[in-house]
Amino acid sequence: MKLLAAIILLCAAATASANPFPGGNAQTGKVLFDKYKCNSCHAAMLGGDGSAIFTRANRKVHDAGELIEQIKICSGNVGAHLSAQDEQHLGAYLNRYYNIK
Ligand code: HEC
């Protein structure tokens, strides 16, 4: 019985700490997003403030790996040299649209 309780506790702890961008801070991500004018192209493509690109029906990103990959591609477009840490920040920020667990 004790063992079962311990297993349940362990599982709960693992779920609670499951964060796809453990090194990221969403607020810092927002600052970077604005600094690099990330939505400038997206807005030109889709209108509005551009964030519709993250919620469009056929969006490309479905998991954390794809999100980091797209952040790399897009930051390359603007010649921004993001650190792995910056990518985590942007991932944490953009996860408000993707809700990746
Ligand atoms: C030079 C223009 C341009 C800039 C600047 C740009 N993007 Fe993009 N972004 C695109 C295009 C084009 C797509 C669509 C790619 C596709 O559909 O294959 C896209 C798509 C994305 C997606 C995927 C959306 C989806 O479908 O799920 C993410 C995430 C993203 N951009 C993040 C960023 C971030 C973060 C920045 C700033 C560092 C940025 N973008 C700056 C052009 C740009």
Residue with the larger pLDDT of the pair 68 and 17: 68
Which ligand 1 atom minimizes the distance to the CA of 61? Answer: 27
50: amino acid identity, one letter: G
How does pLDDT run across 11-56, given as a tens digit for each residue? 555 555 578 999 999 999 999 999 999 999 999 999 999 999 999 9
Task: Indicate if ligand 1 lies below 6 Å from the C-beta of 55.
Answer: no
Q: In the structure encoding, which two tokens stand for residue 69, read together? A: 């990959």
Task: Indicate if ligand 1 lies below 6 Å from the C-beta of 32.
Answer: no
Give the Cα-Cα-Cα angle 99, 9, 65 (nearest 5 degrees). Answer: 30
Number of other CB atoms surrounding residue 4 within 10 Å: 8
How does pLDDT run across 70-89, given as a tens digit for each residue? 999 999 988 888 999 999 99
Task: Indicate if ligand 1 lies below 6 Å from the C-beta of 90.
Answer: yes
The predicted pLDDT at position 18 comes to 75
Task: Indicate if ligand 1 lies below 6 Å from the C-beta of 39.
Answer: no
- Between CA 54 and CA 24 the distance in angstroms is 18
